[in-house]
Structure formats: structure tokens, C-alpha cells
Amino acid sequence: MSQSQNSNSSLVPMTVAGTVFQLAMIVAGHYSEFVRNNVFAIGGMAISLVFGALWAARGASGKGNAFVGGGMVGGICAVIGIAASVLLGDTPAPVLAFGTLGSAVAGGIGGLAARALGGKKTAAA
């Protein structure tokens, strides 16, 4: 399997795992005012950053691919988590837009960081 295929095949599992963590944080925040007020923003972006990095470390084919793929993982898991929080009434609806964007950027940065810190390199064709 080529590295490009490996990174594409890990996109769904990394997104699902990130979504599970996002939803766990949202549920915790639904029952804990401290988590809701102090953890949601930084915690959500940190989850997106970590799972974007984990995805890129599994074989992103280049810097651009690491940023875009990491951003996709981070943004998708964040939009699901934020939407759940909006539906629960814990987060205002406008956060869905800027929270998703911020988490997508965080996921992209995580992807770039993983790539820079030793992500798999592809051989020149």
C-alpha cells in the first residue's frame, strides 16, 4: 500500500476517534459548568490538533497534504462535536462556524507539526 493510500485509509478512523473525544468533552461539559466554560474552546482545538497530527504521522505525502488532511480530520470531528453542543443548548449557534474553522486550522497545524517532527517521507518518483 502506498503512503498516499495509507493516509487516505486512516482519514476515517482518525476522524471517528477525534469525534469520540469531542463528544466525550461535550457530554462532560453538558454536566459540568467548569468544563463548559473553561475547556470547550481550548480542549476542542487540542483534540483537533492531536488527531490531525496522528493522521499526518501515518503517512501524509507532503506538507500541503499534511495541512489539508489534518485540517479535514480536525474540522470534521469539531463540527460534529460543536453541532451536538449547540443541540444540547450549551454552545451558541455562531460558534459552529468559527469553532469549526479554528479547529480545522488547529488540525492542519497538527498535521504540519507531525510532518516536520518525523512524519513518513515519500521517496521521489
123 located within any domain = no
Domain coverage including residue 50:
3-116
In a domain? residue 37: yes
User: Does 80 fall in a domain?
Assistant: yes
pLDDT of residue 123: 41
Q: Is 89 helix (H, G, I), strand (E, B) or coil?
A: coil
Would residue 122 count as lying in a domain? Answer: no
Q: What is the pLDDT of residue 60?
A: 83
Tell me the three cell numbers of residue 65: 497534504
Give yes or no for a contact between 47 and 25, defined as CB atoms under 8 angstroms apart. Answer: yes
Inside any domain, residue 61: yes
Query: Does residue 107 belong to any structural domain of this protein?
Result: yes
Backbone angles phi, psi at 59, to 5 degrees: 135, 35
Q: φ and ψ at 34, to 5 degrees?
A: -60, -50
Q: Write out pLDDT tens, residues 98-125.
A: 999 999 999 999 999 999 988 555 444 3
Residue 19 lies in a domain: yes
> Does residue 125 belong to any structural domain of this protein?
no
Q: Give me the mean pLDDT over the 22-29 stretch.
A: 97
